[in-house]
């Protein structure tokens, strides 16, 4: 657990909720806990004294965070202050009297350090393209012409009146395709045409052409057509409104006016191309991230994929399903989120809390739902510990495993009633977690979604959870390292803490863990699979023809199976908890074939014998007199150097092949058909 702050300021908010200072002191060891009734008003001096001490502070209030920050800046520019909400998440609840352990846990978790987040920048000079269908586009351009560099593109038939003064370009065309982001859009336009300056009653246009290219910083789409991008609401710089809804158009106009200058957004995903299992030698293996990205930010780039940080909207599904950890979430990283869970659940247990339920939620949807439930309903149950994340879809198997290993009895993930974007990745994560938890004796229903927009329905779903016992031996491991490392660690700790630990759990197809089975008789030890394996799960031995397999490194990407020329590899998805400490297993091993002339090892015995069996008496080189045939067969049993020497000594003629038959042409087939027809007529 992270070291608690020296000063913790908690407030009953005008005595609207009970406080258990002793529980907070038990959970935040070494901290000085100061209680208040109206910290933001009558007792503000208490905060001033704490800030003046220069020690780190945790303030259990988020509503008045701007006020506290302003006061702290007046006292100390570099004050270390954390804010945590204990009112809506714990104190305002019908279970408030039993919420002391939860309040203590939330305060302790707030002390966890925040990771540094890298950013990506957008530069917009205010060049906007308004794509419309009628006079609404012209009216919209008039609203923006004094603020942005405007061009209007009217889709055919483009029946609009000519302007009295040409204050901005108006052209005709249909957008065929679009790519890019704020500050760097590129459009391909068909049926593009310039207006005639002599247009009278309506704009008339000159000759049209297809494939015209347009570049701009901002796109305002009021065409009424389908969006130009997948997950259009996530594409920075692309604004879309229904042309029949004046309020929506005006809202888009106001947003567009502010999109000039330099903007930053988090780089949500850290990507390591070296361990990506997308493909090898143009053979595709893993497509998990490509299939799930709603924003279209991921594209193939040779043996790996490429994630455009400017387009990425941060849903995190790619990181949650990436089998190798090549894509990992950075807001926060998997290990940082797991450390927060460790602190939260450990502090809850030390404060005498029991049977905790973790509720993952986002700020855009989940936080308002929790607030509404607290203000107008029964509030969250006393054992429900809310954990805010950037996107619920970022939660991966390692996080679920860690939560249950640390002692949670259940995990719930709060989503919208109708998610705005595909959440298939999250469903896959839960489908993978179920057999693991069931196989370890946790039963079913430990992890599940709550999909609702109704705060009361949220409260009912949480109170309806069957509170089974958690892990009988809660873990306390400290996660560090990359995503794949902490996932393996969390799963091993989950097994140690499980009610009924087993060594092997069968998993469904597509799971990122498993072994391979080899048809030993069909394998020629060509080792093509070793070269294709991106994680080193398959290896060889430089001294002897050998194929080794390390299950702990296998991600079931399928590249070995797709690459194998003999098609003798089968994937077997499973989770073997012994794999981390097991030695590499030898799948097949043979003695090398030794050159009959110099005794140098080369190839494998089975391969050489198979080649001889296929060629002897069948290929022209190995036909004819027994002596000559045997001499040539012996060359197959020699290494590359001895083979050249033997061929030279035997005066072998490489051009001694029998003449090949003439190439058959269409005329040959037609002639034969005519002859058959004449013969058939003669017989009749």
Q: What pLDDT score was predicted for residue 105? A: 95
What residue has token string 């002339």? Answer: 597
**Tokens linked to 614:** 């296929």
**Tokens linked to 237:** 């710089």
**Tokens linked to 642:** 């001895």
Contact by Cβ (8 Å): 420, 414: no
Other CB atoms within 10 Å distance of the CB of residue 184: 15
Residues 6+ apart with CB under 8 A from 680: none
Helix (H), strand (E) counts: the chain: 20, 31
**Nearest CA-CA partner of 524 in 468, 411, 607, 462:** 607
**Nearest CA-CA partner of 607 in 537, 521, 680:** 521
pLDDT along the chain (684 residues), means of 10: 66 94 86 92 94 91 95 85 96 96 95 87 97 95 96 92 90 96 97 92 92 97 95 96 96 97 96 94 93 95 96 96 95 94 96 96 97 97 97 97 97 96 95 97 96 97 93 93 92 96 96 95 90 94 90 96 95 96 92 87 80 73 58 82 84 65 84 87 65
Burial bucket for residue 508 (CB in 10 Å: 0-12, 13-18, 19+): exposed
Q: What is the pLDDT of residues 364-422, one digit of tens each?
A: 999 999 999 999 999 999 999 999 999 999 999 999 999 999 999 999 999 999 998 99
Q: Which DSSP helix (H) or strand (E) runs through 405? A: helix 397-405
Other CB atoms within 10 Å distance of the CB of residue 260: 19
d(CA 334, CA 482): 8
Residues 6+ apart with CB under 8 A from 514: 507, 551, 554, 556, 571, 572, 573, 574, 575
Q: What pLDDT score was predicted for residue 621? A: 64
CA 70 to chain centre: 38
d(CA 513, CA 511): 6
178 three-state secondary structure: strand
DSSP character for 144?
Answer: H
3-state secondary structure 448-516: EEEECCCHHHHHHHHHCCCCCCCCCCCCCCCCCCCHHHHHHHHHHHHHHHCCCCCCEEECCCCCCCEEE
Using the CB atoms, write b or e for 90-100: b if 16+ within 10 Å. bbbbebbebbb
CA 547 to chain centre: 32
Instruction: Characterise 244 by phi-psi region: left (phi > 0), alpha (psi -120 to 50), beta (else).
Output: alpha
Q: What is the pLDDT of residues 564-593, one digit of tens each?
A: 999 999 999 999 999 999 999 999 998 888
Burial bucket for residue 562 (CB in 10 Å: 0-12, 13-18, 19+): middle
């Amino acid at each position: 657990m992270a070291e608690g702050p020296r000063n913790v300021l908690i407030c009953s908010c005008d005595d609207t909720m009970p406080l258990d200072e002793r529980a907070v002191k038990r959970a935040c060891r070494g901290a000085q806990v100061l209680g208040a009734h109206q910290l933001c008003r009558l007792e503000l001096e208490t905060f001033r004294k704490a800030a003046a001490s220069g020690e780190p502070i945790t303030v259990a209030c988020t509503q008045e965070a701007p006020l506290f920050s302003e006061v702290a800046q007046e006292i100390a520019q570099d004050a270390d202050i954390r804010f945590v909400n204990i009112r809506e998440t714990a104190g305002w609840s019908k279970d408030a009297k039993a919420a002391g352990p939860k309040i203590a846990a939330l305060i302790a978790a707030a002390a966890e350090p925040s990771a540094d987040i890298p950013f990506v920048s957008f530069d917009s000079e205010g060049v906007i393209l308004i794509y419309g269908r009628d006079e609404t586009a012209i009216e919209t351009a008039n609203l923006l012409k004094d603020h942005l560099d405007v061009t209007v593109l009217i889709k055919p038939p483009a029946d609009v009146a000519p302007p009295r003064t040409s204050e901005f370009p108006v052209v005709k065309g249909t957008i065929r395709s679009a790519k890019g982001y704020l500050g760097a859009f590129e459009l391909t336009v068909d049926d593009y045409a310039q207006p005639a300056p002599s247009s009278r009653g309506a704009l008339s246009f000159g000759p049209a052409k297809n494939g015209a290219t347009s570049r701009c910083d901002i796109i305002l789409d009021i065409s009424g057509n389908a969006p130009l991008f997948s997950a259009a609401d996530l594409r920075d710089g692309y604004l879309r409104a229904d042309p029949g809804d004046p309020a929506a158009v005006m809202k888009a106009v106001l947003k567009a006016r502010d999109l000039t200058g330099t903007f930053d957004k988090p780089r949500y995903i850290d990507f390591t191309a070296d361990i990506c299992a997308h493909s090898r030698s143009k053979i595709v293996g893993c497509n998990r991230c490509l299939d799930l990205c709603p924003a279209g930010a991921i594209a193939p780039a040779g043996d790996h994929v490429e994630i455009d940080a400017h387009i990425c909207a941060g849903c995190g599904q790619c990181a949650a399903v990436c089998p190798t950890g090549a894509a990992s979430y950075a807001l926060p990283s998997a290990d940082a989120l797991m450390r927060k869970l460790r602190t939260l659940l450990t502090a809850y247990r030390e404060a005498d809390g029991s049977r905790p339920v973790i509720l993952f939620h986002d700020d855009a949807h989940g936080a308002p739902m929790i607030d509404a439930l607290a203000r107008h309903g029964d509030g969250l149950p006393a054992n429900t510990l809310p954990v805010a994340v950037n996107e619920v879809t970022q939660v991966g198997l390692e996080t679920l495993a860690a939560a249950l290993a640390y002692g949670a009895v259940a995990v719930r993930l709060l989503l919208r009633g109708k998610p705005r974007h595909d959440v298939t990745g999250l469903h896959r994560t839960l489908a993978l977690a179920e057999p693991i938890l069931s196989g370890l004796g946790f039963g079913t229903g430990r992890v599940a979604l709550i999909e609702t927009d109704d705060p009361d329905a949220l409260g009912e779903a949480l109170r309806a959870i069957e509170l089974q016992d958690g892990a009988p031996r809660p873990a306390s491991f400290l996660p560090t390292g990359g995503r794949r490392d902490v996932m393996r660690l969390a799963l091993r700790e989950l097994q140690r803490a499980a009610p009924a630990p087993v060594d092997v759990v069968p998993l469904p197809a597509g799971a990122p863990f498993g072994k391979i089975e080899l048809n030993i008789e069909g394998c020629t030890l060509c080792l093509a699979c070793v070269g294709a394996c991106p994680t080193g799960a398959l290896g060889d031995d430089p001294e002897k023809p050998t194929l080794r397999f390390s299950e702990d490194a296998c991600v079931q990407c399928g590249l070995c199976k797709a690459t194998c020329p003999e098609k003798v590899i089968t994937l077997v998805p499973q989770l073997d908890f012994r794999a981390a400490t097991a030695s590499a297993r030898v799948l097949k091993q043979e003695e090398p074939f030794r050159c009959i002339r110099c005794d140098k090892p080369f190839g494998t015995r089975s391969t050489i014998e198979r080649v001889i069996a296929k060629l002897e008496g069948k290929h022209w080189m190995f036909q004819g007199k027994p002596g000559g045939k045997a001499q040539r067969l012996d060359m197959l049993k020699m290494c590359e150097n001895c083979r050249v020497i033997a061929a030279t000594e035997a005066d072998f003629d490489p051009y001694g092949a029998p003449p090949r038959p003439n190439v058959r042409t269409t005329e040959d087939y037609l002639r034969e058909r005519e002859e058959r027809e004449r013969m058939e007529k003669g017989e009749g």
